Homo-oligomer: A and B are copies of this chain.
Amino acid sequence: MDRKAVTVQDVARVAGVSTATVSRALSDPNKVSEDARTAVKNAISATGYRLNKAARNLRKQQAGAVLILVPNLGNPFFSQILQGISAVFSETEFSILVSDTSDPSERDLNLVDYFLDRRIDGLISLDGALSISELELFKHHSVDDRIVFACEWSPLVDFPSVRSNNAMGAKLAIQHLYDLGHRKIAHITGPEGNVLTRERREGMLQARQKLNLPTCAEWIIRGDFSLNSGFLAAQEIAGMDDRPTAVFCASDMVAIGLISGLKREGISVPNDISVVGFDDIEIAEFCDPPLTTIKQNRVGLGRAAAEQLLSQMGARVGKPDRILQLDVQIQTRESTAVLAPSPVD
């Protein structure tokens, strides 16, 4: 049918105007008279015209796309943020490209090349662990004003960033356990070097100090956000002389692994030990016991990051908040309980 492409030339001819007028009618209708506008509109539907993106991009020196860097696509936590991002950009002229930073085959190509090759106009990174050399290339080629971090961020630079209030989350968790009577509270961290690990641990330490809780070096256990690290931590905890009565985990996955591991050790949650997670992933509600956790607004995080990037790229009038911190809430379920009176020895 419409095999040969219809161009602005054709529309112009049918509408009886010039190509310039057609183009203007499309991009900025106010710049054109009422008459011309309707003539063009009619000609477009008569001819079945469709704008050629490649031509526009070439002329306007832009890409019409943004890149989303995801640390691990297989992780539902990230893919839900992606959902929020996707929702915002679907209403714009930008397409979204997705790249998995854990994928070794994508690792060799320089990120800045995406910009230099004019394949993207902007970048949202959910990965805070970009290398310093990469970050410096961004600055060197001055594309750093078209980058936003979401969820994670890099402490090496001060690029704009949208994040959850991780410290607040940690405080809510500790306060909740405190209110239930717990004093001996352990923490399973995320991987060393990760900003979220740091924020959550620091928040916890501060909350602890403020409440004057006892500390014990043993009670800070290194994890890595994974199920397995929680599972392994259970064995450590089971073997402790001075066993904590509650554990605040840096992620829900860790918490689930922990609970699974504790059961193996014959330790019951929440009867013997209360557990709090972080993230409120979907499955948290259906664990046994259902998990008390810190709920992040993942979709909102994605949306906010997308809006932020749009305004930085000049496609929005918006306000350039450099750092936007979203509140978190505690979602109380059944993995936490009032501290049982300590058994009389």
Which residues of chain A have a CB within 8 Å of any CB of chain B? 1, 50-55, 57-58, 63, 65, 73-76, 78-80, 82-83, 86-87, 90-91, 95-100, 103, 105-106, 109, 113, 116-119, 140-141, 227-228, 231, 253, 256-257, 259-260, 263, 282-283, 285-288
- Shortest beta-carbon distance from A178 to chain B in Å: 28
Per DSSP, are chain A's interface residues mostly helix, strand or loop, or mixed? helix
Whether A74 contacts B83 by the Cβ 8 Å rule is yes
Whether B282 contacts A256 by the Cβ 8 Å rule is no
Cα A116 to Cα B74 with chains together (Å):
31
Whether A227 contacts B286 by the Cβ 8 Å rule is yes
Knowing A53-B117, A53-B119, say if A98 contacts B86 (CB, 8 Å).
yes
Q: Which residues of B contact A231 (CB under 8 A)?
A: 286
Knowing A73-B83, A86-B106, A106-B86, say if A286 contacts B256 (CB, 8 Å).
yes
Whether B65 contacts A73 by the Cβ 8 Å rule is no
- Shortest beta-carbon distance from A3 to chain B in Å: 9
Whether B227 contacts A285 by the Cβ 8 Å rule is yes
Knowing A118-B52, A259-B288, A283-B256, say if A86 contacts B58 (CB, 8 Å).
no
Cα A65 to Cα B119 with chains together (Å):
11
Q: Which of B50, B83, B119, B259 contacts A117 (CB 8 A)?
A: B50
- Shortest beta-carbon distance from A124 to chain B in Å: 13
Query: Residue among A76, A80, A103, A228 with the most chain B CB within 10 A?
Result: A76
- Shortest beta-carbon distance from A317 to chain B in Å: 21
Whether B74 contacts A86 by the Cβ 8 Å rule is no
Whether B119 contacts A105 by the Cβ 8 Å rule is no
Q: Which residues of B contact A106 (CB under 8 A)?
A: 86-87, 90
Whether A53 contacts B83 by the Cβ 8 Å rule is no
Whether A263 contacts B288 by the Cβ 8 Å rule is yes
Query: Residue among A52, A98, A287 with the most chain B CB within 10 A?
Result: A98
Knowing A263-B288, A288-B288, say if A83 contacts B103 (CB, 8 Å).
yes
Cα A140 to Cα B106 with chains together (Å):
36
Q: Which residues of B contact A97 (CB under 8 A)?
A: 65, 95-98
Cα A83 to Cα B99 with chains together (Å):
9
Q: Which residues of B contact A74 (CB under 8 A)?
A: 76, 79-80, 83, 282
Cα A74 to Cα B87 with chains together (Å):
13
Cα A140 to Cα B1 with chains together (Å):
9
Q: Which of B54, B105, B113, B116 contacts A63 (CB 8 A)?
A: B54
List 17 interface pairs A-B (beta carbons < 8 Å), by A numbering: A53-B119, A54-B54, A54-B58, A73-B79, A73-B80, A74-B80, A82-B98, A87-B105, A90-B103, A90-B105, A95-B97, A97-B97, A97-B98, A98-B98, A228-B286, A256-B286, A288-B288
Cα A63 to Cα B53 with chains together (Å):
9
Whether B65 contacts A95 by the Cβ 8 Å rule is yes
Q: Which residues of B contact A257 (CB under 8 A)?
A: 286
Knowing A95-B119, A286-B227, say if A73 contacts B54 (CB, 8 Å).
no
